[in-house]
Structure formats: structure tokens, C-alpha cells
Amino acid sequence: MTISVAVAGASGRMGTLIQQIIANSENLKLHAALTSTSSPEEMLGADVLIDVTRIEASEKNVAFALEHGINAVVGTSGWSQERLTGLEQRIPEGRGVIVVPNFSVGSVLGTHLATIAGKFYDSIEILEAHHDKKVDSPSGTAVRTAEAISAARGSEPVPPNADQRSRGEVVAGIPVHALRLRGVVADQQVIFGGTGETLTIRHETFSNTAYTQGIQLALEAATTATGLTVGIDGLLGIGAAA
Ligand SMILES: NC(=O)C1=CN([C@@H]2O[C@H](COP(=O)(O)OP(=O)(O)OC[C@H]3O[C@@H](n4cnc5c(N)ncnc54)[C@H](OP(=O)(O)O)[C@@H]3O)[C@@H](O)[C@H]2O)C=CC1
Ligand SMILES: O=C(O)C1=N[C@H](C(=O)O)C[C@H](O)C1
């Protein structure tokens, strides 16, 4: 079966990569390439929408797709837990959306390992670095990682004293520090402090091609997805942390 895909954010870094993946795939074909000046109607008739835009546009694109019977894959960052909860309630019966904070296999594994380690430490911080063209901070991956660590622990670590400056943005009790630098693609370190030791779980992305496998998996799964799925953990066979 050939899956026809509408790409929103087609003129961007991720949109360009996704069109290359579609062109190289035997079971994917491009239905429409949408940019900020496109009408959402261009996605009509697609089997799946994949959205890699900005959060405001992403919310509108996903709503339009669902209204018109199109399942969606979302790579855009900024889908907070509050937005995800709202989205889940709006997905019609029989339709599905897969929101993927990070398509890279190594990043998914890094976050999974961090949820295991988080139960053994009360002192946890995240340091993420991205290219200087990234418009959002902290990264969607860092937010998801902090939320997943606290959920797996069953409690949020005690955040730093609010009187201190330069301690990052606290997400689910975990300070997140963001760097935006030329020369970097994406890099995340989750640092755990214990008695006389630290543990660092680090994932480095050197090329956007790291997202290829996850994008393919998500597009193939989206045609039959129902309800809300967050992340590609299940598609990779990674279960909930023990
Ligand atoms: N999940 C993951 O693994 C990854 C997620 N991302 C996320 O994907 C998103 C895109 O990243 P990237 O490709 O680097 O960004 P770019 O800035 O390179 O591209 C953004 C794209 O979105 C479009 N766009 C911007 N504003 C709007 C709007 N208001 N309405 C419709 N379209 C709009 C742009 O169109 P135009 O050219 O017309 O302005 C462009 O096509 C970001 O949120 C980023 O964090 C990035 C990498 C990996
Ligand atoms: O904008 C990016 O580049 C990335 N965005 C995503 C995020 O915000 O986590 C995924 C990855 O880190 C690259």
C-alpha cells in the first residue's frame, strides 16, 4: 500500500529531509508540500499529514487534518502536556495523531534510560544545546525528558531556590538549561548528582539524518493509529521504564 503524505513545513530543514525520505521510499508518496503561505486545503486527500512547523501553525494544521479525516504525525516542538491533553480530547473516534518530541532512536533511548536513573537521584538537571536557528527553548525533547523522569519517579525533584539567578527554567521540578550555538545540531545531557558521584546520560545529534528511521516508522504507523500516541518508543519496542 502506498501512503500519500502532506508535509507542512516543507520549506524548512525538517520538511526538506522528510521530502527526501518520501522520494527515497517505495511505500510513501508526496501529496502536498505546504509552507507558511499555503492553504491548509492543499492537504485534503492525503492519507497522513506530517507537521514540522511552529507550535501555533501546528495546532491549526492538526485540527484541520482531523476535521477532514486525516491522521497526523507531529514533529513540531512546543506540544506541552496541557496542549497534548487538550488534543487527546479533540481527536475524533477512529482518527489518530502521533506526536514525536524526537524522531532519533538514540534520543528516545537516552530519555528512556534517564527515566530509569531518575529514581535513584534527587539532584537532576538537563543541559541542552541546539543550532542557532532554533526558535524555541527549552527544546521539546528536554521538556519531555523532564516530564518523563518526574512521572517515572512518581514525584518531582525539589527545584532550586527561586532566589538564585541563572538556574535554568524548571520543568517538572528539573532545571533545564538551553544553549543556542552555531556548529551544533542537537545535544542533550541529563546529569544526575548523588553522594560523591555524578551520572551523565548524553545524546548528540550530528546530522538531521538521525531522524530518518523515526520519521519512516511514524508515517507508516500513522495510517492505522487511533487516539493520541506520544513518542516512537512503542514503535521501537521500548516499554515503560521499570
Ligand atoms: N521531532 C523531532 O525529532 C524534530 C523536531 N524539530 C522541530 O520541527 C520544527 C521545525 O524545525 P525546522 O525544520 O528546523 O524549522 P525551519 O525554521 O527550518 O522550518 C520551519 C517551517 O515551518 C514553516 N512555518 C513557519 N511558520 C509557519 C506558520 N505560521 N504557518 C505555517 N508554516 C509555518 C516554514 O515555512 P516558511 O518557509 O514559508 O516560513 C518552514 O517550512 C521545530 O518545532 C523543531 O523544533 C526539529 C528537528 C527534529
Ligand atoms: O529544532 C531542532 O533542531 C530540534 N527540535 C526538537 C526539540 O525541540 O527537541 C528535536 C531535536 O532536539 C531537534
Measuring CA to CA, which residue among 31, 26, 27, 78 is closest to residue 50?
A: 31
93 within 8 A of 224, measured Cβ to Cβ: no
Q: How far is CA 47 from CA 30, 89, 128, in A?
A: 10, 22, 35
111 within 8 A of 230, measured Cβ to Cβ: no
Task: For residue range 133-154, list pLDDT tens digits in order.
Answer: 999 999 999 999 999 999 999 9
Task: For residue range 207-224, list pLDDT tens digits in order.
Answer: 999 999 999 999 999 999
- The verdict on whether residue 69 carries a ligand-binding annotation is no
pLDDT at 242 over 70: no
| DSSP code at position 47 | S
110 CB-near residues (< 8 Å, 6+ apart): 145, 188, 190, 201, 202, 203
Ligand 1 pocket, 54 CB below 6 A? yes
Q: What is the pLDDT of residue 164?
A: 87
Question: Can you tell me the distance from the alpha carbon of 208 to that of 13, in angstroms, rounded to the nearest whole number?
Answer: 8
Task: For residue range 97-123, list pLDDT tens digits in order.
Answer: 999 999 999 999 999 999 999 999 999
| Residue located nearest, by CA, to atom 14 of ligand 1 | 13
Ligand 1 pocket, 137 CB below 6 A? no
Task: Give the pLDDT mean for 194-213.
Answer: 98
User: Cell numbers 521501537 label which residue?
Assistant: 236
Q: What is the pLDDT of residue 241?
A: 45
Question: Can you tell me the distance from the alpha carbon of 185 to that of 46, in angstroms, rounded to the nearest whole number?
Answer: 31
**Domain spans of the chain, in order of start:** 3-99+209-236, 105-206
Q: How far is CA 108 from CA 10, 101, 144, 190, 221, in A?
A: 24, 9, 10, 13, 17
Question: Can you tell me the distance from the alpha carbon of 174 to that of 126, in angstroms, rounded to the nearest whole number?
Answer: 7
Ligand 2 pocket, 208 CB below 6 A? no
Ligand of minimum distance to the alpha carbon of 145:
2
pLDDT band with cut points at 50, 70 and 90 for residue 240: low
Measuring CA to CA, which residue among 148, 102, 120 is closest to residue 240?
A: 148
114 within 8 A of 48, measured Cβ to Cβ: no
CATH architecture observed for domain 105-206: 2-Layer Sandwich (3.30)
31 within 8 A of 40, measured Cβ to Cβ: no
Ligand 1 pocket, 79 CB below 6 A? no
* Pocket probe mutation, ligand 1, options 16, 18, 19, 35, max atoms within 8 Å of Cβ: 35
Ligand of minimum distance to the alpha carbon of 140:
2
The mean predicted confidence, pLDDT, of the chain is 96
CATH assignment of 3-99+209-236, among 3.40.50.720, 3.40.50.2300, 3.40.50.300, 3.40.190.10: 3.40.50.720
pLDDT at 162 over 90: no
Show which residues are catalytic: 130, 134
Q: Which atom of ligand 2 is nearest to the CA of 130?
A: 3
C-alpha cell at position 138: 527549552
- The verdict on whether residue 68 carries a ligand-binding annotation is no
Task: For residue range 55-87, list pLDDT tens digits in order.
Answer: 999 999 999 999 999 999 999 999 999 999 999
pLDDT band with cut points at 50, 70 and 90 for residue 160: confident
